[in-house]
A and B are shown apart, each in its own frame.
Chain A
Amino acid sequence: MSTATDTSTEVTRADICVVAVAECFRGDGEIIGSPMGTVPTIGARLARATFEPDLVLSNGESLFFEGTHRLGARPDEFAAVGWIPYRQVLDVLASGRRHVMMGPVQIDAHGNANISAIGDWAKPKRQVLGSRGGPGNTINHTTSYWIPKHSARVLTAAVDMVSCIGYDRAAQVGKAARFHEVRRVVTNLGVLDFESVNGAPATMRIASVHPGATVDEIVANTGFELIVPADVPETRLPSDEELRLIREVLDPRGMRLREVPA
């Protein structure tokens, strides 16, 4: 059995991804963190349990809760302190007090993301969800993305439908897009952020590579040209306390390993 002290040999890629997700929320303060998916949810809860205590989190349904709770905790297991039905989510997000982490089906170099349909939208090859809240999220507040399997099919030169706007689209919109920020893209291979060169709309850059992955692997599995700094740092490892929280408190059933197999 793993313990909190034998971490040097047992840190999984999934643990590293959780911490990289948590880092996306660093500095956010007292706003709503809205993680979509397993690793994002564990990561946001980890951020609040450690360095970002003011973050406001819901159970993924309609209740804000305080405290540090496992994935899938039932409403009677936590202190519910706020009621946040969907209508209020849509009202609050327009006020900007939110940072969402979504899972795109496709994303391009500028951070335009598709969650709607693959192929021609009029008669798609593969219909997925529809654009959901993507357009409103991305023009109103900070957005990050989580991609459990980094591939050139997902990180692609051109997305089929821009559900969620990236830096070039925001620049075209101008003033009304002043709240737009795509902060980071966390994948199973590394962390990507955005850099503007000579005032042009920002494009994706390798911010760090996860221990065990390589820059070449990231480049080979990306369908567009990335900005690759001369020295790409390694994504930081979880601390002992972070590992303990992930394994014993937030995700004792190891759901994160289903998204990022060891």
Chain B
Amino acid sequence: MADKRMTPEEVVAQLSDGMTVGIGGWGSRRKPMALVRAILRSDLKDLTIVSYGGPDVGLLARAGKAKKLVYAFVSLDSIPLEPNFRHVRENGLVEAVEYDEGMFLSGLRAAAYRLPFLPTRAGLGSDILKVSPHLKTVASPYADGEELVAMPALNLDVALVHANVADEKGNAALTGPDQFMDDLFCLAAEKAYVSAERVVSSEDLLKEAGCFHTLVLHRYMTAGVVETPNGAHFTECPPEYGRDEAFQKAYVTAAGDPEAWTAFEDRFLKVADEAAYQAEVAKFREESAK
């Protein structure tokens, strides 16, 4: 059986310009940030990013990696508005497709089921249908004749998700209070890559996961596994750690000022690798503690 362990750079090497990339997590929660940072360090461009958005969306868009954003919201949760998302939207720097959260879920399900669309009531009457003229409605073929939104499949080239613990074969556990849509992102994608706080032997996976209900990412869904301790930083990854609120605040402050943003990028994003990022975060924490 294949050992699917990879580095963040090896995951990025599997991606190419113009791909549609789905990103798991939700807002500023359990985002595969180590993989996002690896994309930021790469030459990739013209990506379509599909996400229940948080700083993953903000960062990729601000860095010019994303040509198009597909979202229902983009938020940092404890700080409601994502500053880099605001920047690219208010300056017209990116193409946007906005769906309702439930429409988005129907789109992931349709892709996972290999269906062209799924009907949903969500979106009817709203301006979502106006700003996205590609959306069509469909009439029920049964006696009720109800007219519903035909939510198109959100087919993904690649999905990136972050787990609490995984094995080297690509099985992984989501042990926190919400697993979001990560398994559907994996099923909706041609290839899915999972980063994890730690990679353990298959023999130890259930023990490490704590409960078999958490074992929701299975190896037939995943093409690669990356061990990235603190890899969801600065988003939360319970139970391992909460959101780094001080860092998130610093991120927001920097994003609001061009000079400060350049300094933030130089210090945290334009670094050699994930280890260099984590070293700078450790220094940031020491400075903040003073």
Interface, chain A (partner B; CB < 8 A): 61-63, 83, 85-87, 90, 93-94, 116-117, 121-136, 138-140, 161-165, 169-170, 172-177, 179
Q: How far is the CB of A127 from chain B (nearest CB, A)?
A: 4
Query: In the complex, which residues 155-185 of chain B have their Cβ closer than 8 Å to any Cβ of chain A?
Result: 177-181
B177 touches which of A61, A121, A164, A169 (Cβ 8 Å)? A61
Q: Are B90 and A123 in contact (CB under 8 A)?
A: yes
Known A90-B101, A132-B72: A127·B89 in contact at CB below 8 Å: yes
| B45 located at the interface, meaning its Cβ lies under 8 Å from any Cβ of chain A in the complex | no
Alpha-carbon separation in the docked complex, A124 to B85 (Å): 11
Q: Are B177 and A63 in contact (CB under 8 A)?
A: yes
Q: How far is the CB of B249 from chain A (nearest CB, A)?
A: 18
Alpha-carbon separation in the docked complex, A134 to B89 (Å): 20
**A125, closest chain B residue (CB):** B90
1/0 contact string of B89-110 vs chain A (CB within 8 Å): 1111000001111110100000
Alpha-carbon separation in the docked complex, A126 to B89 (Å): 8
**B122, closest chain A residue (CB):** A136
Q: Are B98 and A129 in contact (CB under 8 A)?
A: no
Q: How far is the CB of A233 from chain B (nearest CB, A)?
A: 32
Q: How far is the CB of B123 from chain A (nearest CB, A)?
A: 5
**B179, closest chain A residue (CB):** A85
Sorted nearest first, the 4 A-B pairs with minimum C-beta distance are A136-B122, A130-B73, A136-B102, A169-B125
| B275 located at the interface, meaning its Cβ lies under 8 Å from any Cβ of chain A in the complex | no
| B114 located at the interface, meaning its Cβ lies under 8 Å from any Cβ of chain A in the complex | no
Alpha-carbon separation in the docked complex, A161 to B122 (Å): 16
Q: Are A131 and B98 in contact (CB under 8 A)?
A: yes
Interface, chain B (partner A; CB < 8 A): 26, 52-53, 71-75, 80-81, 85-86, 89-92, 98-103, 105, 120-128, 131, 144, 146-148, 177-181
**B83, closest chain A residue (CB):** A127
B126 touches which of A62, A126, A134 (Cβ 8 Å)? A134
Q: Are A176 and B72 in contact (CB under 8 A)?
A: no
Q: Are B102 and A90 in contact (CB under 8 A)?
A: yes
Q: How far is the CB of A61 from chain B (nearest CB, A)?
A: 6
Alpha-carbon separation in the docked complex, A129 to B72 (Å): 8
Query: Chain B contacts of A163 at CB under 8 A?
Result: 126-128
Query: Chain B contacts of A116 at CB under 8 A?
Result: 98
Known A121-B131, A125-B90: A131·B126 in contact at CB below 8 Å: yes
Q: Are B178 and A86 in contact (CB under 8 A)?
A: yes
Q: Are B125 and A173 in contact (CB under 8 A)?
A: yes
Q: Are A162 and B126 in contact (CB under 8 A)?
A: yes
Known A131-B126, A163-B126, A169-B125: A126·B177 in contact at CB below 8 Å: no
Query: Chain B contacts of A123 at CB under 8 A?
Result: 89-92
Alpha-carbon separation in the docked complex, A121 to B86 (Å): 12
Q: Are B125 and A130 in contact (CB under 8 A)?
A: no
Alpha-carbon separation in the docked complex, A137 to B108 (Å): 19
B124 touches which of A61, A93, A173 (Cβ 8 Å)? A173
Q: Are A85 and B127 in contact (CB under 8 A)?
A: no
Known A129-B80, A130-B74, A135-B128: A94·B148 in contact at CB below 8 Å: no
**A123, closest chain B residue (CB):** B92
Q: How far is the CB of B270 from chain A (nearest CB, A)?
A: 26
Query: Chain A contacts of B180 at CB under 8 A?
Result: 85-87
Q: Are B101 and A132 in contact (CB under 8 A)?
A: yes
Known A63-B177, A136-B121, A169-B125: A86·B131 in contact at CB below 8 Å: no
Apart from the given pairs A127-B81, A130-B53, A179-B121, 4 other A-B contacts in the complex at a CB distance below 8 Å: A127-B90, A129-B81, A133-B72, A139-B121
Known A61-B177, A123-B90: A133·B126 in contact at CB below 8 Å: no
Known A63-B177, A126-B90, A176-B146: A135·B126 in contact at CB below 8 Å: yes
Alpha-carbon separation in the docked complex, A75 to B75 (Å): 23
Query: Chain B contacts of A130 at CB under 8 A?
Result: 53, 71-75, 98
Q: Are B131 and A94 in contact (CB under 8 A)?
A: no
Query: Chain A contacts of B75 at CB under 8 A?
Result: 129-130
**A113, closest chain B residue (CB):** B126
B100 touches which of A62, A124, A135 (Cβ 8 Å)? A135
